[in-house]
Structure 1
Amino acid sequence: MSDAYLALEDGRVVEARGRAPGRTRGELVFTTAYTGYEESLTDPSYAEQVLTFSYPLIGNYGVRSERFESDHIQPQAAIAREFTEEVVEWCESEDVPAIDHLDTRDLVTSIREEGAMKCGLAVGPDATPEAAKEELDACKGMSEHTDIGAQVSVDDPEVYEGGAAATVALIDCGAKGSIIDSLVERNATVHVLPYDATPADVAAVDPDVLFISNGPGDPVNFEAAEQLVSEYLGDLPVAGICLGQQVVANALGGSTEKMAFGHRGVNQPVRDLETDRVVMTTQNHGYTVGDPGDRLDVTQVNVNDGTAEGLANEDLGVITRQYHPEANPGPHDSLDFFDDVLDLVSADAPVAASD
């Protein structure tokens, strides 16, 4: 008899082996990454989601906290064909349900064909299909979480001293730690501000750059960050990564849309439209910029589906990426993005007024 059940929005209930007990619910998504499971499980962009690993064995090189992108596991639950004991113990220690010994290939195929779907999970000696269905029903009945940023953002400002190359106001919508590290390594001092920071909060930092981070959920829910972009556009260079690109696009008159199953993995090919160079990138997002509007140029596109991977407005000093240039654990093809952001400061950009 199974001790884990996964109830899917398409009506199926999948039996599995329970590894870490609990009951939960969320949006079922998958990642194709075959390394970097520690980074994936601590990525705040996975908040309120149930993460399925398509690679069959997760945990083969242990668990080390220095690889974490935040201070705890972010998905609601974790699913794999097989987890090692170290990953199981990690999930247990944080009360995050985990299951394995199920056909993850079938799950991934279902998500690709039907899109990301809601699910319910019941794990443990008393788990039943009915309990999993109850979680699914509760998930279906939940209204959209419009304040998801509160789960993943700092409560109070934090400062990471790097040096005098630039002062960066990083709006934390769920920032990965390696974004901060990438800026500090380039001699920038980073002020991490809450996702709902006000213009006065930013002014108090007196930054050289406004930087909107990655994060979970629908970008339209991050109204405060969007307002900051509008407020400082033309006065400060503006940069963004992942959700940050989407927020910037919305602030400049573009629009965003939900993808069928998103881009999640470490092998997404991106082509630069100016150089025609293709780089491999790490990605984790379920929304994309559908229309950049008439104030942003698309500079990079996804080779697989043509979605916008880079946006810019040279006159206003705006540069964004949909993927993760910090790419921890890799690939590192696009780390020069952070150099480009700091070059905006050295070039004394922007030069045009926002109106």
Structure 2
Amino acid sequence: MKAELILENGVRFKGKAFGYIKETVGEVVFSTGMTGYEELLTDPSFAGQIVTMTYPLIGNYGINLDDMESDGPKLKGFVVREKCDYPNNWRCEMDIDAYLKQNKIMGIEGVDTRALTKILRDHGTMKGIITTRGKDLSENQIALKFESLNNKNVIRECTIKEKYEIAGSGKHIAYLDLGTKTGLIRDFKSRGCRLTVLPAFTSAEEILAVNPDAVFISNGPGDPKDVPEIIETVKQLIGKKPLLGVCMGNQIINLALGGNTTKMKFGHHGGNHPVKDLKTGRVYITSQNHEYVVCDLPEDVEASFININDNTIEGIRHKKLPIFSVQFHPEASPGPLDAAFLFDRFLEVIERGGDNA
């Protein structure tokens, strides 16, 4: 079935529909990952977005349900140059078309993803519609569909509903789930941590009531400024418990400390982003997925990592309090394992309970 991707600036890309056939509206972004599409599809940080894959062939090793990073896809749509209809891998359980059908996600293939990526790089992230009835939509109808897109509640849609416990003999971490990837939980578990996983809008009083050794704020979708309640909660925890964060957690912590965040032109999405540790000078290749970055650091906060490509801040640490967070994904799901040592650094911060340098 023929389909079109219609961008907010009026540019249209023709292609062929696959997955679950429906009309969908989302924020169009691109990811540079060559592999890892299973983890990408199930990363809650893509909630509300239509994801374009820059690598031209997607789906060649199929889908297996062991590699999912959440209970299912949260993204609005999927754009590829070519999907593989005959995947070949011993772990494969279904092809990508069947998986998107099963999870009611619209896809479009045959798109010139190179041209689309160049538009997004030049003009920035913008809204888009994937539809099978592009010729029948008037300009007014298209405008109304763009206006209907509202991503302000994506964290509420992606967080867990009830808290749960994960047993462990190590440090007890109150784990605030803003739309977490299971890879983060898996790496804490592998280090023996005991986790109390909490919904995103849990109050500071409820978090402190579980008596954790530290509080971890996870990754999640959307604009951190859309959740002032969570920022206020983290603000109330400052100085009471060590604070650790990844991705959205990094942004929330900076806002709670009095800093700021800003939206990037086209974000960082993929597994090939170089970041520099400002303490050691070493560069790591990292997995990233975010549209916003921290800026205007508070007086007692310093950058711990920067992005080599664009000099954006990739991590922060407090100069006096045990507070440490990074913008990239140390669990590398998907991506390189360069930054996995950060889980050990997190635990060192908890152990010291003071200077986290």
Same fold (TM over 0.5): yes
Aligned to 1:324: 329
Structure 2, unmatched stretches of 5+, are: 86-94
Q: Provide closer, same or farther for how the CA distance between residues 214 and 315 of structure 1 changes in structure 2, counting only shifts above 3 A.
A: same
Distance 1:132 1:267 in 2: 40
Q: Provide closer, same or farther for how the CA distance between residues 132 and 257 of structure 1 changes in structure 2, counting only shifts above 3 A.
A: farther
Aligned with residue 247 of structure 1, among 232, 244, 252 = 252
Whether the aligned pair in 2 keeps the contact of 1:235 and 1:350 (CA below 8 Å) is: no
Distance 2:154 2:310 in 1: 28
Aligned with residue 146 of structure 1, among 144, 152, 156 = 152
Whether the aligned pair in 2 keeps the contact of 1:24 and 1:135 (CA below 8 Å) is: no
Q: String of CA shifts for 1:129-173, please: whole Å, max 9, x gaps.
A: 334967742343137543221110001102222x22111111111
Aligned to 1:16: 15
Whether the aligned pair in 2 keeps the contact of 1:237 and 1:345 (CA below 8 Å) is: yes
Q: Provide closer, same or farther for how the CA distance between residues 46 and 207 of structure 1 changes in structure 2, counting only shifts above 3 A.
A: same
Distance 1:329 1:293 in 2: 32
Distance 1:201 1:135 in 2: 46
Deviation, structure 1 residue 177:
0.6
Whether the aligned pair in 1 keeps the contact of 2:17 and 2:108 (CA below 8 Å) is: yes
Q: String of CA shifts for 1:330-352, please: whole Å, max 9, x gaps.
A: 2000111111111122223379x
Distance 1:43 1:133 in 2: 33
Whether the aligned pair in 2 keeps the contact of 1:23 and 1:132 (CA below 8 Å) is: no
Deviation, structure 1 residue 224:
2.6
The Cα RMSD (Å) is 1.7
SS across alignment from 1:22: coil
Q: String of CA shifts for 1:222-259, please: whole Å, max 9, x gaps.
A: 22321222111111110110011110000111000000
Distance 1:136 1:27 in 2: 14
Q: TM-score if structure 1 supplies the norm length?
A: 0.94
Aligned to 1:45: 45
SS across alignment from 2:347: helix
Distance 2:12 2:229 in 1: 40
Deviation, structure 1 residue 314:
4.3
Counterpart AA for 1:293: P
Distance 1:134 1:149 in 2: 30
Whether the aligned pair in 1 keeps the contact of 2:26 and 2:149 (CA below 8 Å) is: no
Aligned to 1:71: 71
Distance 1:315 1:96 in 2: 46
Deviation, structure 1 residue 290:
1.9
Distance 1:156 1:132 in 2: 44
Whether the aligned pair in 1 keeps the contact of 2:251 and 2:294 (CA below 8 Å) is: yes
Identity %: 35
Counterpart AA for 2:344: D
- Residue 128 in structure 1 maps to residue 134 in structure 2: yes
Counterpart AA for 1:151: E
- Residue 171 in structure 1 maps to residue 171 in structure 2: no
Matches within 5 A, 1:1-355: 3-20=2-19, 21-85=21-85, 86-123=95-132, 127-131=133-137, 136-142=142-148, 144-161=150-167, 163-349=168-354
Deviation, structure 1 residue 206:
1.0
Whether the aligned pair in 1 keeps the contact of 2:181 and 2:219 (CA below 8 Å) is: yes
Equivalenced residue count is: 346
Q: Provide closer, same or farther for how the CA distance between residues 133 and 120 of structure 1 changes in structure 2, counting only shifts above 3 A.
A: farther
